[in-house]
Structure 1
Amino acid sequence: MNNHTLEQHLAEADQPVKDFMADLLETLGKKITDNQDPKLALRYFGAQLEIKLVNFEGQYDQRQL
């Protein structure tokens, strides 16, 4: 599954998924405000995932640090 497909699924997702994504972005944004690395580790169905904010349209860009 490629990124375009994942983004399309998110755009068409039900409200609970959109709420989860909003909470995720809010949490990562708070980490930036607190001068912490904007990443989270999640465990789901036996997988360990790491989600890291790299860019947020004019608000944050890790590549410019």
Structure 2
Amino acid sequence: MKISFRNSKKTWIQLTDGSAIGSNYLLEKVHNRLDIDLKSHKLWRFASKNVSELSSTDKRILNFNKRFNRKK
């Protein structure tokens, strides 16, 4: 099942625990190369810029993260 995001410029990375984060966020928050390497061993699925292959469970996780990670 292929899903195109509205903001196709973002690249999503899904970790083994089921969470999904944007690659921009990951690169902004890590401070050195070791931190990137520590996080990269958890990488499970990498979504390309334009189209990502996500299951319905993955889509629910992304929707959940969108709903509950908003700044109030």
Greater relative contact order, per chain length (Cα 8 Å cut-off, separation 6+):
2
- Give the TM-score taking structure 1 as reference length: 0.28
- Give the TM-score taking structure 2 as reference length: 0.25
Which of the two has higher C-alpha Rg?
A: 1
